Structures are given as structure tokens and as C-alpha cells.
Amino acid sequence: MNKVEIFDPAMCCSTGVCGPSVDPELTRVASAVYSLEKKGFNITRYQLTNDPDKFAKNKEIHRILMEKGPDALPVVLVNDQVVKVGSYPANEEFAEWFEVKAEELNEKPKSGLSINLNQL
Amino acid sequence: MYPSFSPNHVQTQFLFLTGKGGVGKTSTACATAVALADSGKKVLLISTDPASNLQDVFGIELTSIPRAVPTVANLYVSNIDPEASAKAYRESVIGPYRDIFPEVVVATMEEQLSGACTVEIAAFDEFTGFLTNREIGNLYDHIIFDTAPTGHTLRLLQLPMAWNGFLEESTHGASCLGPLSGLVDKKELYSSAVAALSDLTKTTLILVTRPDVSAILEADRASKELKEIGIKNQMLIINGLLQHYNEEDEVSSAFYHRQRDALKQIPETLKETTMYSLPYVSYSLTGVENLRNLFKLYDEVPTTDVYMENQSMNLPGLKEVINDFSGNQTKLIFTMGKGGVGKTTVASAIAVGLVEKGHRVHLTTTDPAAHLDYQFQSDHLNQNLTISSINPKVEVEKYKAEVLAKSSENLDEAGFAYLKEDLESPCTEEIAVFQAFAEVVAKSENEIVVIDTAPTGHTLLLLDASESYSKEIERSTGNVPESAKKLLPQIRNPKETAVAIVTLAEATPVLEASRLQDDLRRASINPQWWVINQSLSATNTNDHILKGKAMAEKEWIQEVKDNKAEKCAIIPWLYEEKVGYDKLKDYIK
């Protein structure tokens, strides 16, 4: 089975909702990754500020960061080989790597725990 | 009408004070703590006062570990600095990688952890320890916090999405909670902290305000928001209420009447809260004895200080600021400061001053439109002056609707709720307003644009980052609008753009203004002017109480002049409200 790793940029507000521009691309990728994880595929995302160690210890990623700076992110590795620099895979690419249908990748994530003030 | 606040009114173990910067939260908290301790209760005062003038108040070095105050039996004080906690957190994450990654990479990590939300969450994290630790709880009769968590923080922590680890999967790429990973481990702790906050028998929320319209409205907003989230045990303290006035002194009687008029505008919703007042005092609340005097309701204390004659600090007025802008052919002028310091009035007066010098000026304000009409009584407008207004609420709603439409199709209900709360972040409003005034600037030609607000450094750096980001990634569909992109280099150019920081000559406003300046400098923008507004020391009042206050201003004027401002101007407290084009000209006489 293929192993896919996505190395995301630092993403506080710079690309997200409270940022200057919203990128629906991110929601698409999140849904695709979620669907694949649920199906048991080997796919992982690392985020620069949350998992800096992963970026530092991976020689390829470290080299790209040293040469091209933060704008090179996201970087995608398939079986430790760099396949994408500066953009996320399309759903078709995910489908090809894991041999699934692209349409299966739109599943909406579900959530669990909550604190409910009124019940406390 | 408003009974005096007395520490006997405190019934619960936990006490949180909230209110706009500069209303006197820390002083009220200190005075209450001293009074309760004097009455034999064991009290812990937890301050988040970053000015750390508490050290001077109590005469001891303070840290986050509670220390006994030698001059007040039963009183323990701890000082926490959420900015410092957030900074320490940031450094713990980034520090190890400074030598491993290139500087630009480290910079993007730092910016992710530099938003207002990181500080808010860090503060809540600090409170939690005190609220939930039984050992600490058993030690004290009362624990007093001189600040309170915001509704935004509390709502975020209540949402299911905060807790299920889904965060790490970067649902929509951003989150106010995102910067604090490892949050999940603290679910139990946070949950019991939130429970203690909403327990009427355990926690009282004290809303502190001044008899001043903008502070009152802020208290009302906080009251509603926190009530909705379950913090219902609230009381209101009107701090700094002038008890009587000197009829022969113009400043004194105008000051008194303006306060009384402001009180008439207390919203009905807020009137349902129990209301108390504390007197306007001439002395500064910096020693234990003076803190005790506050509850004895002395508005003056015998002092050995001989009133120095009002020696001038040789600061120019607003006229000088306008001459400077006019001479330098500045194209874009921002007035910046926290709410209530008079940014809009100063911006309006600058606009009028420039028109009087023969320039064509466009003034745009983020104050509600009604106020602008009021300010100019529009029929008397000069033909070289045009005005427009940006309603932050409308802009934010527009922006939110756009985001939700773009991103919601992939989200389930919980994800959607989470996204919506993220959009309540203070950053959202800034971005939305920035985009709106970028539009105004883009449309203007051959005129000076004056704006009564300015973007923060955080916003500018983010816009910068996202611009290079979207350049690199062609696939990225999120776009910074063209007008915002064009505005960025213009704002950075000191030949075209000037920022004037507006403040008051008091501790908290100066400190807050100084933070705004540091934040802007981070984005390589240097405010050219500081304008000290509503200064009593620049008036000729002979009223004893106000004169005392005027003396206290000097320290802060000196501080601004010597340590903060490149160039500094001062505007006296005006006993007449300047409404209309012709009246605004009085500022530049």
C-alpha cells in the first residue's frame, strides 16, 4: 500500500477563515484526507507549527525548506518521494494513489465530544 | 441613584472584573482585595496587569506564584502576564527550530502563533489553574481576578470541535484554538473551570465602566455576551463618578454634566444589573492607604504635595500635526487607538484642518454613520471634503457570508458551528474592515484619504504572507482582493502614509497604544505622531479634584514624549463638544 504524507505550511490565519482570503481548497483536502483515513489508508498530514520535528527530521522536506523557503509548502511525499511542491493533490491524484474512486473522497467529517454548559 | 460599591456586596468566592481598557479594573480589584482582607477574609488577588504597577502598589516583587503582602494581613497577590505566557508558549514551540530552519520559515511559524486569540487562550489557561485547583481553593475565602475571559474564548471551548482531535486535521486550515495544540489533554480541567464560572454561588462577574458612553456600551456588550454563555451573576460598577462640581470652574461643571448625560444612556438591559458607583478621586490609587481611602469615599486626600504651577511640557497642538502632513504631502492618514480615546474626532479635525489648507480630502470612518452625520451636520460641508463610512458590522457579515458559502459544502453541522465561531475572532473584523477601506483608497484620486482606524501588524503580515502564498500556488482559489494588494506597499511607504496614534494621558491607554505601535513596527510601519487627547493638564481648571488628576497625567505625558513617540502633540479636554465643520476648526486654532 502506498504511504502518503502531506507537509502543510504554518496556517494560523494566513490561509484560513479568519485570514484575508479563504481557500475552499483546504476544506476539500481535509475531507479527502478524512475519508481516506477512515478507509484505513496510510495518509498523514503534518503542520509546520504543530509538528516542526517532522519537518526538521525529514531530509527531503528540510532541503526544500532551506532552498525555497516556506512558500514551497505544502509538499507531498508518496513513499518518501517528493511528488508535489507548492500545491495539494487533486482528488483524482488521491484516487490514483490509493486505487479508489474520486467520488468516494467527499465524505463529511463527523465529530464527537462536547462541553455543554447547561448540563454542568 | 447609584449606591456606593462596598466590599460587603461580594458574596462569592470567585470574582472576575471586566470592562474596557482604562476603566479602572485593576484599581477596583486591588481596593476590593485590600478591604476584604482588612475585614478578616483571606484573599488572593490575581492580576493580569502587564504594566506591573502592582509591584509599586504593594511594594513587593510579584510573580505568578502568590505572595503575601507584608503591609496587609491576609492578602496574597499573584501577577500573571498572558502576553508573556503566550510568548513563552510560542518560544517553547519555535525555539528549538531557530537554527534548523531558515529565518523565513521560522517567521511564518511565529506569525501563526501571534494572533490575539493565542493570548486570550493563554490567559484562560492561566485562570484555569486557579479555578480548578482544590488546594488553592481551600486556602482562600476570595479569589479576585482583575480581568475575565472573553465570550469568544468561552464559546470556542464549549464547541465539540475543540475537543475531538479533529483540529489537527486542519478542517478548514485555521482555528483560533489551533495554535494551542495539546489542548485536548485539558478537556476535564477546562470543563470544570467553565462550570465554576457559570455557578451563581461561586462566581460574580463585576462589569466596570466609567461614566462615558463608549465604556458603558462596551460593558453592556460584555454583559449580554457573558450572560448568554451562562455567567449570570453580574453587577455593574460605575467608576470615577464625580460627586459634586465647582460652579465657577467651567471645566469642572462641564465635566460633571457630561458624566451625568452619559449615564442617561445606560441601556435598559444593563439597568437590570445591580449598579454601584465609586467616586472620581484626585489621588492615584498606588498605595495601600489610598486604596483604603477609596472605600471611605474620600474624593480628596490631604497631601503635602504643593501643586506645581501648570508648567507646560512644550507640546504642540493638533495644528502642528496638520502642518506636518500638509507639508509632507502625505496621501493617506490613519488615526489609530483603542476605543473611546477619540480617534474619530481627531481624524475629523485633521480632515477639516487639511481642507482649510486647501487640500481635497476624503474622510472615511468606521464609526456608525449616524455619528458621522452628527459630527458634520452634513449641510455645512465644505466642497473639498467628502465623507463616507464603513460599518464594521456590515462588512463582517458580508465577509462571513462569503466564507461560509465558500467553505460550508464540505462540512457537517459541528464543523460548520466551529467555522462560524472561528469567524467571531477579532481577526475577522480586522480583515473585513481592511478590505473595505482598501476599496475606498482604491477609488480615491488626487485627494488625501483620512481613516479613523488602522490595520494591526498581525493583519498586515498575514496579508503579506497570503499574497506571496497565493502567488506561489496557482491552484489556490482563495484570493486577496486587488485593492487590498495595492494598498499594502502604499501603507509601508512613509512618504505616502502616516499613522497617528491617539491616546489619553493615563496608564492603561498609554500601554495599549504602545502595544499597537509595537505591533505595527513588526510590520515595518512607524507611527509618525502620538496625539494625547482630552488632557486635563492642558486646560486651566482650578478645581481641586480635576487639578489632582491633571498632575497625575504628567507622568504619562512625559513617558509618551520621552519614550514612545517620534513626535507628540496634545489636545486639551474640551468643555464643549465640537460638532460641525466650523466647530471642528477650533481644534486647529
Q: Is residue A108 domain-resident? A: no
pLDDT of residue B165: 43
For the domain bounded by B318-391+431-588, which CATH number is listed? Answer: 3.40.50.300
> How much of chain B, in percent, has pLDDT values that exceed 90?
32
Judged by CB atoms closer than 8 Å, whether chains meet at B101 and A56 is answered as: yes
C-alpha cell at A100: 479508489
What is the rounded CA–CA span in Å between residue B584 and residue B586? 5
Measured in angstroms, the CA of A9 and the nearest CA of chain B are apart by 8
What's B7-78+122-291's CATH class? alpha beta
Averaged pLDDT for residues B214-242:
91
Name the residue facing A12 among B113, B406, B415 (closest C-beta).
Answer: B113
**What CATH code is carried by the domain that includes residue A36?**
3.40.30.10
Q: Is residue A117 domain-resident? A: no
Judged by CB atoms closer than 8 Å, whether chains meet at A12 and B111 is answered as: yes
Q: What's the pLDDT band for B519 if we cut at 50, 70, 90?
A: confident
3-state secondary structure B368-430: CHHHHHHHHCHHHCCCCEEEEECCHHHHHHHHHHHHHHHHHHHCCHHHHHHHHHHCCCHHHHH
Name the residue facing B414 among A45, A65, A111 (closest C-beta).
Answer: A111
Residue A4 has pLDDT above 90, yes or no: yes
What is the domain extent for residue A48? Answer: 3-102
pLDDT in tens, A26-78: 767 777 787 788 788 999 888 887 788 889 999 999 999 999 888 888 899 99
Residue of B45, B42, B43 lying closest to B54 (CA atoms): B45
Name the residue facing A45 among B115, B169, B480 (closest C-beta).
Answer: B169
**B 260-299 residues inside an 8 A Cβ radius of A:** none
Residue of B488, B469, B487 lying closest to B478 (CA atoms): B469
| DSSP line for B284-336 | -S-SHHHHHHHHTT-S-----PPPPP--------HHHHHHHHHHHT--EEEEE
Residue of B25, B13, B43 lying closest to B131 (CA atoms): B13
pLDDT in tens, B159-171: 654 544 444 443 4
Per-chain mean pLDDT for chain B: 81
SS3 B464: helix
Residue B1 has pLDDT above 80, yes or no: no
Does residue A12 belong to the interface with chain B, where contact is any CB pair within 8 Å? yes
Q: Contacts of residue B403 in chain A, CB cutoff 8 Å?
A: 17, 22
Q: Is residue A50 domain-resident? A: yes
What are the residue ranges of CATH 3.40.50.300 in chain B?
Answer: 7-78+122-291, 318-391+431-588
Q: Contacts of residue B469 in chain A, CB cutoff 8 Å?
A: 9, 14-15, 71
Greatest mean pLDDT among B47-56, B288-297, B313-322 lies in B313-322
The ipTM of this complex is: 0.77
Output b/e per residue, B176-203; b: 16+ Cβ within 10 A. Answer: bbbbbeebbebbeebbebbbbbbbeeeb
Measured in angstroms, the CA of B346 and the nearest CA of chain A are apart by 28
**B 182-201 residues inside an 8 A Cβ radius of A:** 187, 190-191, 194-195, 198
Could you tell me if B54 and B62 are in contact, meaning their C-beta atoms sit under 8 angstroms apart?
yes
Residue A110 has pLDDT above 60, yes or no: no
Judged by CB atoms closer than 8 Å, whether chains meet at B407 and A115 is answered as: no
**Pairs across A and B, CB distance < 8 A:** 230
Name the residue facing A15 among B158, B229, B478 (closest C-beta).
Answer: B478
Measured in angstroms, the CA of A117 and the nearest CA of chain B are apart by 7
Q: Is residue A116 domain-resident? A: no
Name the residue facing B428 among A9, A18, A69 (closest C-beta).
Answer: A18
Number of folded domains in chain A?
1
Active site residues of B: 22, 24-27, 49, 508
Q: Is residue A41 domain-resident? A: yes
**A 93-112 residues inside an 8 A Cβ radius of B:** 106, 108-112
- Minimal-distance CA residue of chain A relative to B428: A18
Q: Contacts of residue A49 in chain B, CB cutoff 8 Å?
A: 93-94, 109, 112-113, 179
